[in-house]
Amino acid sequence: MIGQFEDCGKALTIALGVARRAAPALLIFLLIAGTAACLPAFQQSDASGVSFQLRAVASAGKLPDLRWPDFSDYRQHVRNFYEPSGYAPAWIHDGRPTPQAVAIIELLKQADNWGLDPEDYDSGRWADRLARLQKPHEASDAAILDVALTVCLMRYISDRRIGKVNPEHFQFGLDVEAKKYDLPTFLREKLVDGPDLPAALAQIGPPFAGYKRLLEALHRYLQLAREDDGQKLPVPKKPVEPGSPYDGVPRLMRLLRLLGDLPANTAVPGDSNLYQGALVDAVKRFQNRHGLTPDGRLGEQTLKNLNTPLSRRIEQLRLTMERWHWVPYQFTEPPIVVNIPEFRLRAFDGEGNAVLTMNVIVGKAYRHKTDVFEKDMRYVILRPYWNVPPSIQRSETVPAVQKDRDYIARKRFEVVTQAGQVVTSGAITDEVLAQLRSGKLAVRQKPGEDNALGLVKLMFPNEHNVYLHSTPTPQLFAQARRDFSHGCIRVEKPAELAAWVLRDKPDWSLARVQAAMKSGQDNVQVNLTKPLPVLILYGTAAVDPEGNVHFFDDIYGYDGELAKVLAKGYPYPG
């Protein structure tokens, strides 16, 4: 028997050597074939045969029996999981799945409870794998189930912990590395012999109330999609005004009742085609939830949103939940959060409550998108200069000066050296223009009411040159869609926000901040006592504390980009 073991070891070594030089599909065949050739020597020790095959599959990083066969991104994790036990099966005992294995398979089948697709974790394949083990079977059957369960479970835990796609793939400034689990250790210590698997897995996802409300909304919209008949509302050439006849009234009434915008106990004449009364109020509620002006008119954008399939709303919820996995799970202080598609800022307290909210203006969808990232705010500048960014100086300021040499003076700008020394604030000579064009000289705008930054800016130093600031054009906050800036974020209540971030400095009350902004010294810097996290997010769905589900346009196309990546399946960009 010992000689047979040695011969099989040599055979496996040869197979491994050939496999390393083979194409992926042939690689797996050779590894399995190499171990299968040894199985007669191990008929008295089925576990040994399983171990050989587990080693082979782990080395290959591929398992054709999986829905997503390529697990090369988890290969080292799988090796590290099995190596301490000499590649003994973790989920099979005496040829049968352990109670933990059966329980975990059921949890994987219920992945949709967490906004995930159960088929990504082989939901439809477990029954056949388990059935094979209920009768005389080959060692390969046990090995396939064991490694498949390990791979699917690692994917499942990682997907719920940090999401499927690394945000760096989209050039987002969010780092998930610190949240990653040591997956082999987690599986061994928490799950292989774990007494309470649901409890062990319950804490791995985002801890935020906003995420949990999204999850509840997802379950609700999955049910609504099953109940909805999907009928489209007619789209007339002109907007439908309240009090006007509209052929779509019956469908509109059914849809708004289903979505909850028209309360179930509200009486609406069932035989009328007049768009009026409670139905108009329900449309206003719908408009408010979808980032539209709540005027009650059935215009192009309102009808477009009403006709959006509920399947698309479900996708928005899932894509937004994926991005929530990218967010840091712990902050040094309660953060300020800006959601770009919502055009909204919220400042949170230690209990997770939004204690200050306001509208914001974000970067234009074309060429000036506001970046997604997280940094710490460190200081506030009252009555700031606006240092024109080099890109704007090249593309906008220099051409304007070429056309009008008094442009600098009219706009209350100054030409300065790179060290900040003023060169001129008057008419521009050819020599100064040449240095502006080459970037040797810079431009800044003097503090004051007409300054592009308004009267205060709140700084969280970052490589994107993005910050929060006030604006000389507050009338733009009345617009429903507010992507007007060059990338920075204009805030609707700048004095209130500045006073809030300085709230641990008693001498900087709201009244003093307002006075300093209106008539104080120019360019006064006030340092925060301790850094304050600022998180800039991108989510096209949100649920408020009252349970109202809000949807927003995918203004930067990020939902579409993420959906395309997810559709390709594992392995995802890491």
Residues 438 and 250: their CA atoms lie apart, in Å, by 65
CA distance 544 to 549: 7
Q: What's the confidence (pLDDT) of residue 5?
A: 36
Strand 274-275 and strand 541-543: the pairing is unpaired
As a whole number, mean pLDDT of residues 131-141 equals 89
358-403: per-residue pLDDT in tens?
999 999 998 899 999 999 999 999 999 999 989 899 999 999 999 9
How far apart (Å, rounded) are the C-alpha atoms in residues 483 and 320? 20
* Fold agreement between 231-308 and 331-383+450-538: no
Region 331-383+450-538: CATH code: 2.40.440.10
The most distant pair of C-alpha atoms in the chain lies apart, rounded to whole Å, by: 98
Tell me what the mean pLDDT of segment 479-493 comes to. 95
Q: Which of 17, 5, 42 is nearest to 140 (CA)?
A: 42
Which DSSP letter does residue 258 get? H
pLDDT tens, residue by residue, 542-556: 999 999 999 999 999
| pLDDT tier for residue 35 given thresholds of 50, 70 and 90 | very low
At 89-126, the pLDDT tens digits run 999 998 899 999 999 999 999 999 999 999 999 999 99
Give the separation between CA 432 and CA 408, rounded to whole angstroms: 12
What pLDDT shows up at residue 320?
98
Amino acid letter for position 204: I
Q: What is the mean pLDDT of residues 21-33?
A: 42
Whether residue 336 has pLDDT greater than 80: yes
CA 128 to chain centroid, in Å, comes to 35
| Alpha helices, H only, 83-202 | 99-109, 126-132, 139-162, 183-186, 197-202
Residue 335 vs residue 26, higher pLDDT? 335
Give 258-263 contacts, CB < 8 A, sequence gap 24+. 258/224, 258/227, 258/228, 259/224, 259/286, 261/285, 261/286, 261/289
Domain boundaries, the chain: 2-202, 231-308, 331-383+450-538, 385-446
Beta bridge partners of 382: 456, 524
Name the region of 238 (left: φ>0; alpha: ψ -120 to 50; beta: rest): beta
CA separation for the pair 419, 507 (Å, rounded): 32
ω into residue 309 within 30 of 0, thus cis?
no
Q: Kind and range of the H or E element at 5?
A: helix 2-20
pLDDT tens digits for 182-226? 999 999 999 998 888 888 998 899 999 999 999 999 999 999 999
Q: Are 65 and 125 in contact (CB under 8 A)?
A: yes
- Asked if residue 571 has a cis previous peptide bond (ω within 30° of 0), the answer is yes
Contacts of residue 134, Cβ cutoff 8 Å, sequence gap at least 6: none
* Both tokens assigned to 467: 């910050």
Task: Name residue 7's amino acid.
Answer: D
Report the b/e string of 292-313 with b at 16+ CB within 10 A. bbbbbbbbebbbebbbeebeeb
pLDDT of residue 47: 63
Distance of alpha carbon 85 from alpha carbon 78, whole angstroms? 12
- The amino acid occupying position 171 is Q
Please state, as a whole number, how many other Cβ atoms lie within 10 Å of the Cβ of residue 573.
13
CA distance 334 to 316: 26
CB 371 within 8 A of CB 517: no
Mean pLDDT of 423-431: 93
The confidence band for 254, taking pLDDT boundaries of 50, 70 and 90, is very high
* Reported confidence tier of residue 27, pLDDT bands at 50, 70, 90: very low
pLDDT computed for residue 24 by the predictor: 43
Residue 532 to residues 293, 337, 462: CA-CA distances in angstroms?
Answer: 33, 11, 14
Rounded CA-CA distance 554/540 in Å is: 6
Residue whose tokens read 């250790």:
185
- Whether residue 290 is predicted with pLDDT greater than 50 in this model: the reply is yes
Closest CA to 351 of 484, 494, 489, 545: 545
Q: What is the pLDDT of residue 7?
A: 43
Question: In the predicted model, what is the mean pLDDT of the chain?
Answer: 90
Band (268; pLDDT cuts 50, 70, 90): confident
Class of domain 231-308: mainly alpha
Comparing C-alpha atoms, which of 111, 37, 16 is closest to residue 67? 111
Residue from 343, 323, 340, 364 nearest 561 by CA: 323
CB 330 within 8 A of CB 352: no
